[in-house]
């Protein structure tokens, strides 16, 4: 060793450790010793920093030109976010070398919103910008924005915009949005055709809708009236289509009296001639202009379901007290063929339940079974012919209460709640499967009639603490929670049937203050706020099941007083009566298979 050389330190350290002591780790499975740790906020932080740089014009290498505006950005960020920009900047196009790139067919505000989305993941969608935002995002292949726009439009579907959304989806070939809008239009066809959008439909789309088996209609005349309105909206341009278009309507199922009225009120001579020719073709059974054979549409509201209730008939052994049984059987009445059949039975029999139709499904809620007031419910899906009990219980048990569907929710009013009269209003949301308290009645009430019509819910008659047979009528706005007093009924009553048909609310039967079962029928004009007496029932009845279908009223079953050996009791009846408002008469229908009272009826589109 040379003089002055430094003596190396003696050490057992491996030189590969670079001078650090090596520690032997034991008991570790090498195959599992490697872990990947993710910093959840790291990627969003990078995106925020990139956006800050963009806003400060730092490192930006491209400007998107819209009109007189330049939106600065980074090519790498745009390319990573959008297949459109990726192709623009990586496939040898001229834009790859340009610092300023013109973007056509997109407005400044929309492009700015989409670039903001690329850097933040957030975008504001409104009624005013959704269509333009959708089209631009579709062009730029920003799928997340496209999906968000579709979801927004699906949530905003309404009678007034459904056809516009349908046509928009068709123009952009978005089948998901198209199918959702089409389903909405089919289910709400009578309301959709009242809107201005319907009158602006092209002929081809009109024919598509009026030819469909899936439109949910009360009567075929609704299809005729909608088509007639479409023609008269632009007679000079559309008169030539009259015979072609009306050939798609099942006029054989329409009331000739109503057709007479349309012809009488028509002001165009050429259209009168065409309609009169069609009418003569039908009356003479020629079939030259319109088909003579017609079956109701698949989803026409032609069937009435009778749900719940009980049977009370005198025993054959002569004992005067009637034998009673509660129904689980659900009878289905075909109003076109005047026949009865059955669908799947409800799981729990119940008397005086609430029944409503919501989104093509039948809900039966509450009621009473063996003196027990119920809060549960069941739902019937006609596609499976099955009842399910997955509905959340009401907050309060109720029977003899009011239930109706309104704006995709169920509203339950008052009722008998055990030992007292209920005054609460609760609402069911089928999406969350929850009930919540909504409001209160002006005073507790049960055994009343409840119906919804054009944005309001109507409460008719019934019993309160002060009066067992009310005469008053009220309307309720669920959105503002405001009550309005309306013209009272002509006859105070409770335990009656109620139905809405062609702008009128019908009140049928029930009992009066003398405990007499009524045959009287009256109807309320929503337009005029007046009541009119109509022809009486052939058979008086309380607690009848009442429904409106195929342009007529149907009164099914109910209770009737009977006295045997000085014992007065209520027995159930099986008779069915049908009222035609164009002929002003009641006629008999095929009776129920067995007598039934205190049941509910609902018109079903299946």
CATH code (residue 358): 2.120.10.80
Residues 262 and 308 in one domain: no
Residue 298's pLDDT band (cuts 50, 70, 90):
confident
Residues 485 and 540 in one domain: yes
The position carrying tokens 């939106």 is 71
Among the candidates 156, 171, 190, a domain finishes at 156
Q: pTM, whole model, 2 decimals?
A: 0.69
Res 319 pLDDT > 70: no
Domain that holds residue 211: 201-284
| Centroid of chain to Cα 460 | 24
By the 8 A CB rule, do 595 and 574 touch? yes
Residues 235 and 113 in one domain: no
Residues 384 and 524 in one domain: yes
Domain count, the chain: 3
Q: Per residue in 420-456, pLDDT tens?
A: 999 999 999 998 999 999 999 999 999 999 999 999 9
Domain membership flag for residue 23: no
The helix (run of H) or strand (run of E) holding residue 75 is: helix 75-81
pLDDT of residue 256: 85
Residues 97 and 237 in one domain: no
* CA-closest candidate to residue 412, choices 372, 358, 465, 331: 358
DSSP letter, residue 9: P
Domain membership flag for residue 343: yes
The helix (run of H) or strand (run of E) holding residue 204 is: helix 203-210
In DSSP terms, 434 is beta-bridged to 429
Q: How far apart are CA 416 and CA 175, in angstroms?
A: 48
pLDDT of residue 302: 82
Average pLDDT over residues 199-212: 96
Residues 144 and 217 in one domain: no
Residues 244 and 367 in one domain: no
Among the candidates 89, 122, 156, a domain finishes at 156
In DSSP terms, 312 is beta-bridged to 324
274 to 26, 245, 279, 400: CA distances (angstroms): 98, 12, 9, 51
By the 8 A CB rule, do 538 and 549 touch? no
Residues 460 and 515 in one domain: yes
CA-based end-to-end distance of the chain: 107
Res 18 pLDDT > 50: no
Residues 415 and 553 in one domain: yes
Q: What is the number of other CB atoms lying within 10 angstroms of the CB of residue 218? A: 20
pLDDT of residue 550: 83
Residue 173's pLDDT band (cuts 50, 70, 90):
very high
- Span of 118-122, 312-316, 332-336, 512-516 with lowest mean pLDDT: 312-316
Domain membership flag for residue 52: yes
Q: Which two tokens stand for residue 103?
A: 């973007």
The alpha-helical segments, DSSP class H, found in 315-356 are none
By the 8 A CB rule, do 311 and 324 touch? yes
Kindly provide the b/e burial profile for residues 421-458, where b requires at least 16 CB atoms within 10 angstroms of the residue's own CB.
bbbbbbbbebeeeebeebeebeebbbbbbbbbbeebbb
pLDDT of residue 31: 58
Domain membership flag for residue 235: yes
pLDDT of residue 8: 45
Residues 430 and 369 in one domain: yes
Does residue 119 sit in helix, strand or coil? Answer: helix
Res 34 pLDDT > 80: no
CATH code (residue 91): 3.30.710.10
User: Which 3-state string (H, E, C) describes 82-93?
Assistant: CHHHHHHHHCCC
Domain membership flag for residue 463: yes
Residues 249 and 359 in one domain: no
Domain membership flag for residue 194: no
* CA-closest candidate to residue 262, choices 585, 14, 582, 19: 582
Domain membership flag for residue 497: yes
Instruction: Tell me phi and psi for residue 571, to 5 degrees.
Output: -120, 160
CATH code (residue 252): 1.25.40.420
Domain membership flag for residue 196: no
Residues 214 and 362 in one domain: no
Instruction: Tell me phi and psi for residue 135, to 5 degrees.
Output: -60, -40
* CA-closest candidate to residue 409, choices 351, 346, 452: 452
């Amino acid at each position: 060793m040379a003089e002055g050389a430094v003596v190396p330190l003696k050490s057992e350290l491996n030189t590969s450790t670079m001078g650090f002591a090596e520690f032997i780790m034991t008991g570790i499975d090498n195959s599992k010793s490697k872990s990947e740790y993710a910093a959840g906020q790291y990627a969003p932080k990078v995106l925020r920093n990139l956006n800050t740089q963009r806003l400060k014009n730092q490192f930006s290498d491209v400007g998107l030109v819209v009109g007189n505006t330049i939106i600065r950005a980074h090519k790498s960020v745009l390319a990573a976010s959008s297949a459109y920009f990726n192709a623009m900047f990586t496939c040898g196009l001229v834009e790859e070398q340009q610092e300023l790139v013109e973007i056509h067919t997109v407005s400044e505000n929309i492009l700015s919103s989409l670039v903001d989305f690329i850097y933040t993941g957030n975008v504001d969608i409104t009624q005013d910008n959704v269509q333009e935002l959708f089209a631009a995002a579709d062009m730029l292949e920003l799928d997340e924005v496209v999906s968000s726009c579709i979801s927004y439009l699906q949530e905003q579907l309404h009678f007034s915009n459904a056809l516009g959304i349908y046509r928009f989806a068709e123009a952009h070939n978005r089948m998901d949005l198209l199918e959702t809008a089409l389903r909405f239009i089919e289910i709400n066809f009578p309301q959709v055709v009242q809107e201005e959008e319907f009158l602006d439909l092209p002929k081809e789309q009109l024919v598509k809708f009026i030819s469909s088996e899936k439109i949910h209609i009360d009567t075929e005349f609704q299809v005729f009236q909608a088509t007639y309105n479409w023609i008269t909206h632009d007679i000079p341009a559309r008169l030539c289509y009259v015979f072609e278009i009306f050939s798609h309507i099942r006029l054989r199922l329409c009331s000739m009296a109503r057709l007479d009225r349309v012809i009488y009120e028509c002001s165009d001579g050429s259209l009168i001639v065409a309609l009169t020719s069609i009418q003569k073709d039908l009356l003479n059974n020629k079939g030259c202009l319109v088909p003579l054979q017609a079956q109701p549409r698949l989803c026409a509201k032609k069937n009435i379901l009778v749900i719940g209730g009980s049977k009370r008939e005198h025993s054959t052994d002569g004992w005067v007290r009637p034998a009673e049984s509660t129904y689980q059987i659900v009878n289905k009445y075909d109003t076109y063929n005047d026949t009865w059949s059955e669908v799947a039975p409800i799981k729990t029999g119940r008397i005086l339940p609430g029944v409503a139709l919501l989104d093509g499904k039948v809900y039966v809620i509450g009621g009473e079974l063996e003196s027990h007031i119920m809060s549960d419910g069941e739902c019937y899906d006609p596609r499976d012919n099955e009842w399910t009990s997955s509905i959340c219980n009401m907050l309060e048990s109720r029977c003899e209460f009011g239930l109706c569907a309104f704006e995709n929710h169920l509203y339950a009013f008052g009722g008998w709640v055990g030992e007292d009269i209920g005054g609460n209003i609760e609402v069911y949301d089928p999406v969350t499967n929850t009930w919540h308290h909504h409001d209160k009645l002006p005073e507790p009430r049960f055994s009343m009639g409840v119906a919804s019509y054009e944005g309001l819910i109507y409460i008719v008659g019934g019993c309160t603490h002060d009066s067992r047979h009310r005469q008053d009528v009220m309307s309720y706005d669920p959105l503002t929670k405001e009550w309005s007093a309306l013209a009272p009924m002509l006859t105070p009553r409770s335990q009656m049937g109620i139905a809405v048909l062609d702008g009128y609310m019908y009140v049928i039967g029930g009992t009066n203050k003398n405990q007499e079962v009524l045959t009287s029928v009256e109807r309320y004009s929503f337009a005029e706020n007046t009541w009119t007496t109509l022809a009486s029932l052939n058979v008086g009845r309380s607690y009848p099941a009442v429904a409106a279908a195929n342009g007529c009223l149907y009164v099914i079953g109910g209770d009737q007083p009977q006295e045997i050996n000085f014992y007065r009791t209520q027995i159930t009846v099986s008779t069915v009566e049908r009222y035609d408002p164009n002929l002003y008469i009641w006629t008999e229908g095929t009776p129920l298979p067995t007598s039934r009272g205190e049941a509910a009826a609902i018109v079903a589109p299946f």
